[in-house]
Amino acid sequence: MKHAVAANYYFNVTENFILAPQTQYTVASNDKVFWEAGFTSDWEIVDDFHVRTNINYAFLDDSWNQQNWFGWVRLERDF
Amino acid sequence: MKIKKLLIGSASMIVAATGAKAADPVVMIEPVTANYVEACDAFGSGYFFIPGTETCLQIGGYVRFETKFGGIQTGSSLDNDWYPYVKTNLAVTAKSATELGTLTSRMVPEFYFYSNGTGDDFKFDEAYLEIGDALAFRAGYIKGYWNEDLWGELDNIDNVSRYNSIRLAYNGADHFQIALAAVGMTPDETGSDGELAKIGLSGRLGYVVSDSNYLKLDTAYDTYNETYAVRPWAGFGIGPGTFEIAGLYASGFIAYVPDFTSANWDDLADR
């Protein structure tokens, strides 16, 4: 990677639900340029029990030979 | 007071007894140990005294079940690339007050089971010892500043930056953060041929009021590849939430930042 700029804005939709739209602009070492955009959400169902979802899309054409959609869904209990 | 007198009394009796007949009975008074765990509030919440010691212990962690899908660094355009995995994180922290400041040791082993063929795996999240307070010296397997991401974990402005390192850091009540770390990078992380570690350097300058209001500058230098990276980032509390923005520049291949070329990308030969 040569350089990149990433940004997100996270805020409480309700008391226990946080949403964060996010994006990144990247210039790779080969001077190819691409954008990624998506969101992450965190729902604390009860205290210390989080359902966290991260879904993104990378704007890459076929020549990159990569997947466009990526992310994860996470259940986590913190103590 | 009564007990003390009794003890002194019995001690003088022992002295007297040794001088006299050895057959005199000596009554030993056993110290009474507490049979409960005492909370330790000197280092924040969650600590308790290890019974019979001045050391405070905290146990934390998490259990995670996650399903991942896709990925722009997989080198594959396969659409149905997904797998679940489970992860446990157990954090054990011991702290005690000393004349040189707080003495800390922390170990955070992580166990995984992946359903993508990797099977089970073991990693350290962190394992280090540290001494000091506002100015602290840390040595061990340190999770570095470059491991930190924006809240949303888009995860492409940071990298897995855990190294065997030594670090001197200032984290003052005045919100300033100043840190310098020297790390041992493995041959994999530098792309060197040998089996020897190479030295990496990283630094942090920050003004961190809270998670919602901060300015940070991370720097890194790879002495083997002679490459460097800088990452300025900032967070601002705006309206109901927090806006975060991060910039990144890398002069070439360096393990501290994501590598979107080399083996990760099929269309590219050079780094």
- Per-residue pLDDT at B258: 85
Q: Sign of the CA dihedral B248, B253, B256, B260?
A: positive
A76–B64 CB contact, under 8 Å: yes
A1–B261 CB contact, under 8 Å: yes
- Contact status, residue B188 vs residue B205, Cβ threshold 8 Å: no
The β-bridge partners of B245 are A7, B234
Residue A56 at interface with chain B, using a CB cutoff of 8 Å: yes
Number of Cβ within 10 Å of residue B25's Cβ equals 6
Residue of B217, B245, B62, B35 whose CA lies nearest to A22:
B245
Q: Where are the alpha helices (DSSP H) in B164-228?
A: 187-190
DSSP A12-67: EEETTEEEEEEEEEEE-TTS-EEEEEEEEEEEEEETTEEEEEEEEEE---GGG---
| Beta pairing, strands B135-143 & A49-58 | unpaired
Token pair listed for B102: 């707080």
Please tell me whether the interface predicted TM-score (ipTM) of this complex is above 0.95.
no
- Contact status, residue B262 vs residue B250, Cβ threshold 8 Å: no
- Contact status, residue B257 vs residue B145, Cβ threshold 8 Å: no
Dist CA B232 CA B234 (whole Å): 7
- Per-residue pLDDT at A35: 92
Of residues A9, A24, A58, nearest to B243 (C-beta): A9
- Per-residue pLDDT at B136: 97
Closest Cα of chain A to B255: distance in Å?
Answer: 11
Of residues A8, A58, A76, nearest to B62 (C-beta): A76
Q: Which of B65, B68, B155, B222 to mutate to test the interface with A (most CBs of A within 10 A)?
A: B155
A67–B246 CB contact, under 8 Å: no
A79–B64 CB contact, under 8 Å: no
Closest Cα of chain A to B192: distance in Å?
Answer: 19
Closest Cα of chain A to B184: distance in Å?
Answer: 22
Q: Sign of the CA dihedral B94, B97, B98, B104?
A: positive
Low-confidence ranges of chain A (pLDDT < 50): none
Q: Where are the beta strands (DSSP E) in B81-212?
A: 82-98, 101-114, 119-132, 135-143, 162-171, 176-185, 198-210
Chain B: residue whose CA lies nearest to A18: B241
- Per-residue pLDDT at A11: 96
Low-confidence ranges of chain B (pLDDT < 70): 1-24, 31-34, 73-80, 260-271
Q: What does the buried/exposed string (b/e) look like for B101-127 if buried means 16 or more CB atoms within 10 Å of the residue's CB?
A: ebbbbbbbbbebeeeeeeeeeeeebbb
* Angstrom distances, CA of residue B204 to CA of A41, B152, B155, B233, B259: 29, 21, 19, 11, 21
B156–A6 CB contact, under 8 Å: yes
Q: How many beta-carbon pairs under 8 angstroms link A with B?
A: 166
Dist CA A44 CA A50 (whole Å): 4
A69–B268 CB contact, under 8 Å: no
- Contact status, residue A30 vs residue A51, Cβ threshold 8 Å: no
Query: B151: Cβ–Cβ under 8 A, 6 or more apart, which residues?
Result: A8, A10, A20, A40, B211, B242, B244
Residues of chain A in contact with residue B156, where contact means CB-CB under 8 angstroms, are 4, 6, 24, 26, 36
Q: Considering chain A, what is the average pLDDT of its residues?
A: 91
Dist CA B66 CA B112 (whole Å): 11
A1–B75 CB contact, under 8 Å: no
Q: What does the buried/exposed string (b/e) look like for B27-54 if buried means 16 or more CB atoms within 10 Å of the residue's CB?
A: eeeeeeeeeeeeebeebeeebebeeeee
